[in-house]
Amino acid sequence: MAKRPSEDLRIVLLGDEHDRGSFACGVESLGHYLQTQAGQDVRRKANAVFILSETGEPTRVLGYYTICAVPISQGDVPEMARKHVPRYPLVNATLIDRLAISKDRHGQRLGAILLADALQRAFGTAKTVGSSMVIADAVDEAAASFYAAHGFVRLPDSLRLVLPTRLVDGSAER
């Protein structure tokens, strides 16, 4: 039987104290990124990397996600989302580029907890940085289905999905 998520989960910025070396999620590229590249990206401010852990084991990485700002071409915005974004050639967006959960914690809804945190951060900064949508780059079809189940709309012939920030808090009609 799978262990239920603890009530004392925390999500914090990646720090030197986190044990990245033992993280395994079942997708080599996501594990490799956390182990070898994430620290550099944080230092260079290329990505913010947020770590999910339990308060009782704060150095153990249960999961993580990355988030950063990115422009998207107006032509790449799905029709249903166009009424929610400005009509500029490039639209500012917040990108969730990676989201991964430790293999031994799959099936415990930790991905949904990380996604909710990422969306809350994206929405919280949207007005100050001028981001009109959240983009998720799915690593595979299963990840694309995960994002779609949480309201994201898939771009044609792509593993990229979008969600207008006006829809994140439910203030706009879909």
Q: Would you state the pLDDT for residue 77?
A: 66
Q: Would you state the pLDDT for residue 174?
A: 37
Query: Does residue 31 lie within any of the structural domains?
Result: yes
Query: Does residue 174 lie within any of the structural domains?
Result: no
Let me know: does 11 contact 59? Beta carbons within 8 Å.
no
Query: Does residue 20 lie within any of the structural domains?
Result: yes
Q: Would you state the pLDDT for residue 150?
A: 94
The CATH number linked to 63 is: 3.40.630.30
This model's pTM is above 0.95: no
Query: Does residue 81 lie within any of the structural domains?
Result: yes
Query: Does residue 3 lie within any of the structural domains?
Result: no
Counted domains in the chain: 1
Cβ atoms within 10 Å of 71's Cβ, excluding its own: 12
Range of the domain at 78: 9-168
Query: Does residue 2 lie within any of the structural domains?
Result: no
Q: What is the mean pLDDT of each run of 10 residues along the chain (174 residues)?
A: 64 96 95 96 95 96 95 69 65 90 94 95 81 89 95 87 71 41
**Separation of alpha carbons 138 and 154, rounded Å:** 10
